[in-house]
Chain A
Amino acid sequence: MNLLAFARGPALTVALAVFVFGVAWRLLSLLLLPWARDLAVARATAPPALVGAVKGFVRHLWPPRPLARGALIVTVNGYVFHLGLAVIVFGLAQHILFLRGLFGVHWPNLPSGVISAVAVVTLASLFVALGRRLTNPVLKLISTSNDYFSWFVTMLPVATGLIAVSHLWAPYETLLAVHMLSVSLLLVWLPFGKLMHAFLVFLTRAETGIVYSRRGAEI
């Protein structure tokens, strides 16, 4: 079995299995925890929980006004690489084929040149994020190896994918295999590290929205 056969076969299967296992475990073990009842009486004007949840989520899409100026670059940069990642994952024909293989659904692809351009911007944006983490004293203080490793496994598939489509430095079969292995690494790490925010962000922000809307606060 050569590297590509390993990457396409056993490596991806195991990575997907660990991913699904980890996500199911972490979500259920969180959701089934006993919920603390909010004993305070809700404000008369408090909206229903669902509305509070959605509002809370939407409001958190952008920092509140007094903070927005200072956080502008960070926020925009965050959007750049998050959207970039989404465009790359869901827009490149090769990725759509991969997803079609798993879920059976597919959609039209974007031109490969557009994806490459987006990937370059995404990569640059990821490095800006890392740079900030390393230079901002507060952020540096609260960053752990979990943050750095999560950054690394996110950056790796973008970099290797870009190299693979550009056919640089090594034969394509090796580049494709390395790219697929980097995706496997991402899948394996995602449920157990900070990248789990891909799922948990919906829970945390909804929960915050509910708690504060009951109290009539808009945070």
Chain B
Amino acid sequence: MSRRETIGELLVQRGISRRALLKYSAYLATLMALPPTAARAIADALAAARRQSVIWLSFQECTGCTESLTRSFNPTIEDMIFNLISLDYHETLQAVSGAAAEEARLTSMRENKGKYVLVVDGSVSTKDGGVYSTNAGKTNLQVLRETAEHALALISVGTCAAFGGIPHAHPNPTGAVPVSEIITDKPVINISGCPPIPEAMAGTIAYLVTFGKLPDLDHLNRPKSFFGDTIHDRCYRRPFYDKGLFAKSFDDEGARRGWCLYEVGCKGPVTYNACATLKWNGGVSFPIQSGHGCLGCSEPNFWDKGGFYRPLSTSTGSPAAVIGGAAAAGVGIGVASALLVRRRKSDAAKEPHS
């Protein structure tokens, strides 16, 4: 393989001007909440950097994350990503297939040993040795271990790779686990969401390439610049929440007036993601703006949190049986203790008085 060109060289080859790169860097700086002065530094760093070799593995997933990235409304995002990285292996996007595709992965791993970034979408099946999801005769588990061994860092894209996601939902028939549960000796950045916001994927990858280090991460290893606030913190319906004005259904007067969706199950208060600020489809809208509560898709176990339409302040158990049982037990013991006292009393009455 020839020497990997710098990003600057590649942009020149593709006829992309420095001005465009600067504009793009400014956009990145804003996305990552960096000071505006960082834009020039980013542009310079990017121009001089070699394109980051990336291997992208897809496990138990629906391809929604790849769709989100490649169909992002804002074409500069995907362009920029593909200018910044050398995507050496991606099952959905690559043209080659079969043995040639596997060879591409192995070659990239050999040539960029210790330097490539491994991106994973989808959860990893572990039950019965991981037989429920295989590719080219190998289980996902094997491929992940093998490919992660010499990776620089890993990025789990989407809630399935980050937290197990839908395959991990009860009863989890395939024993699905997140990537971070298998690979524990390398940094794993989680960019959760179902799917994740394209800007969050793009911004994080760009940060890695530009600065050569991990961005600031939260306790779930998500980049703080995208997952630092809850949806609720930034929701434009928040004033209604604060006043206690809630839509009671999806087509009542409150819903038409744009009141808060807490009562119809919004999980915005406990969901960390950038939907309310970056929004979707190039900033057109986001679920709450379209009238539906947040599902909490960027949080662990979002599928098993008691129902999308059940308000956050309600109990998630279905306690009828337990409580019924407890009531019966209470009645039983109450009656028994009263009867005991009655018996003692009548026994005492029968005893001869001294």
Q: A residues near B, CB below 8 A? A: 1-2, 4-5, 8-10, 12-14, 16-18, 20-34, 92-95, 97-98, 100-102, 109-113, 115, 171-173, 176
Q: Which residues on A sit within 8 Å (CB–CB) of B243?
A: 111-113
- Pairwise interchain contact B313-A113, C-beta atoms closer than 8 A: no
- Pairwise interchain contact A13-B338, C-beta atoms closer than 8 A: no
Report how far A100 CA is from B317 CA in the complex, Å. 14
Instruction: Tell me how far the C-beta of A39 lies from the nearest C-beta in chain B, rounded to whole angstroms.
Output: 16
Decide yes or no: A17 and B315 within 8 Å by CB, A24-B331, A112-B243, A113-B243 being known contacts.
no
Instruction: Tell me how far the C-beta of A192 lies from the nearest C-beta in chain B, rounded to whole angstroms.
Output: 12
Q: B residues near A, CB below 8 A? A: 230, 232, 241-244, 246, 262-263, 269-270, 300-301, 305-306, 310-317, 319, 322-323, 325-327, 329-331, 333-335, 337-339, 341-342, 345
Q: Is the interface of B mostly helix, strand, loop or mixed?
A: helix
- Pairwise interchain contact A113-B242, C-beta atoms closer than 8 A: yes
Q: Which residues on B sit within 8 Å (CB–CB) of A97?
A: 263, 311, 313-314
Decide yes or no: A4 and B270 within 8 Å by CB, A16-B323, A17-B322, A113-B244 being known contacts.
yes
Decide yes or no: A5 and B301 within 8 Å by CB, A13-B315, A17-B323, A176-B312 being known contacts.
yes
Q: Which residue of A lies closest to B339 (CB)?
A: A32
- Pairwise interchain contact A8-B326, C-beta atoms closer than 8 A: no
Report how far A1 CA is from B322 CA in the complex, Å. 20
Among B232, B242, B326, B337, the one with the most A-chain Cβ atoms within 10 Å of its Cβ is B326
Q: Which residues on B sit within 8 Å (CB–CB) of A9?
A: 306, 315-317
- Pairwise interchain contact A32-B335, C-beta atoms closer than 8 A: yes
Q: Which residues on A sit within 8 Å (CB–CB) of B319?
A: 12-13, 16-17
- Pairwise interchain contact A27-B334, C-beta atoms closer than 8 A: yes
Q: Which residue of B lies closest to A106 (CB)?
A: B248
Q: Which residues on B sit within 8 Å (CB–CB) of A22?
A: 330
- Pairwise interchain contact A23-B330, C-beta atoms closer than 8 A: yes
Q: Which residues on B sit within 8 Å (CB–CB) of A102?
A: 315
- Pairwise interchain contact B330-A93, C-beta atoms closer than 8 A: no
Decide yes or no: A17 and B325 within 8 Å by CB, A9-B315, A97-B314, A101-B314 being known contacts.
yes
Choose one: B230, B262, B326, B342; the contact of A93 (CB below 8 Å). B262
Report how far A208 CA is from B49 CA in the complex, Å. 88
| Contacts A/B (CB < 8 Å), 25 sampled | A8-B315, A9-B306, A9-B316, A13-B319, A16-B319, A17-B319, A17-B326, A18-B326, A25-B330, A27-B334, A28-B331, A28-B338, A31-B338, A32-B334, A34-B341, A34-B342, A34-B345, A93-B244, A93-B262, A94-B312, A94-B313, A97-B311, A101-B310, A173-B269, A173-B270
Instruction: Tell me how far the C-beta of B255 lies from the nearest C-beta in chain A, rounded to whole angstroms.
Output: 15
Choose one: B301, B312, B330, B339; the contact of A21 (CB below 8 Å). B330
- Pairwise interchain contact A95-B313, C-beta atoms closer than 8 A: yes
Instruction: Tell me how far the C-beta of A9 lies from the nearest C-beta in chain B, rounded to whole angstroms.
Output: 5
Instruction: Tell me how far the C-beta of B177 lies from the nearest C-beta in chain A, rounded to whole angstroms.
Output: 15
Q: Which residues on B sit within 8 Å (CB–CB) of A24?
A: 326-327, 329-331, 334
Report how far A30 CA is from B334 CA in the complex, Å. 8
Report how far A24 CA is from B327 CA in the complex, Å. 6
A-B CB proximity, top 3 nearest: A28-B334, A24-B330, A32-B338
Among B241, B244, B311, the one with the most A-chain Cβ atoms within 10 Å of its Cβ is B244
